[in-house]
Amino acid sequence: MQPQVTHTMGWMIDTLQYAKGLEKAGVKREAAEFQAEALAQALEQAASTHLTTKDDLRTSDQSRDTKFSAIHQKMTSEFVAVRQEMASEFAAVRQEMASEFAAVRQEMTSEFAAVRQEMASMEIRLTDRMNRMFILTISILGGLITITTGLTTLLHFY
C-alpha cells in the first residue's frame, strides 16, 4: 500500500499509517489495507453527504442574510406604502371635514341671514302697527277733544 493522505471535508486520513496500525494489532496486511481504503471511502462519502463545512455555513449565512435583507426591504416598502396610504386617507378626511365645515358655515350664515331678515320684517310690521295705533290714539284723542270742546260749549249755553 502506498502512503495516501485523504482530505475529507477538512479531515486528513493517512491510510498507510492506519493500515500499519491494524497490522501491529494482528490484522493481516491485505485486510488492513482494505479496511483503511474502505474507511477512507466511507468517511469521504459521509463527509460529502452529511457533514457541514465552513463553506456550507458561509453559503447558508449569505443565503439567510440575503433572505433577511429581502424581507427587510419588503417590510420597509410596505411601511412606506402604509404611511403613504394613511397620509392620503388623512388628507381626504381633512378635505372632507373642511368641506363639511364650510357647508355648515354657509348654512349657518344663510340661517342667520334669514333670521335677521325675519326680524327686520317683524320690526317693520311692529313699527307699522305701532304707527297705526299711534295714529288711532291721536285720532281718538282728537275726537275726544272735539267732543269735550263741543260738550263744554253746550254746557256754557245752558
CA distance 86 to 44: 59
CA 74 to chain centroid = 16
- Residue 26 and residue 83: Cα distance in Å, rounded? 79
Range of the domain at 32: 5-51
Counting the structural domains of the chain, the total is 1
Residue-wise DSSP of 74-131: HHHHHHHHHHHHHHHHHHHHHHHHHHHHHHHHHHHHHHHHHHHHHHHHHHHHHHHHHH
Euclidean distance between CA atoms 153 and 148, whole angstroms: 8
Calculate the dihedral angle through the C-alpha atoms of 79, 80, 85, 86, rounding to the nearest 10 degrees. 70
**39 lies in a domain?**
yes
Q: Is 85 a member of any domain?
A: no
Residue 30 lies in a domain: yes
Which pLDDT belongs to residue 54?
Answer: 83
Report pLDDT for 101: 97
**pLDDT for residue 94:** 97
pTM above 0.75, yes or no: no
- The set of residues, in sequence order, having a beta carbon less than 8 Å from that of 43 and lying 6+ positions away, is 6, 8, 11, 13
Give me the average pLDDT of each 10-residue run along the chain (158 residues): 53 80 90 88 76 83 94 97 97 97 97 96 96 95 91 81
In a domain, 10, yes or no: yes
Residue 14 is predicted with a pLDDT of 82
Residue 24 in domain: yes
CB atoms within 10 A of CB 19: 24
| Residue 35 included in any domain | yes
Per-residue pLDDT at 6: 53
Q: Quote the cell numbers at residue 127.
A: 313699527
Whether 43 is in a domain gets the answer yes
What pLDDT score does 52 carry? 73
Within-domain flag for 11: yes
Amino acid identity for residue 53 in this structure: T
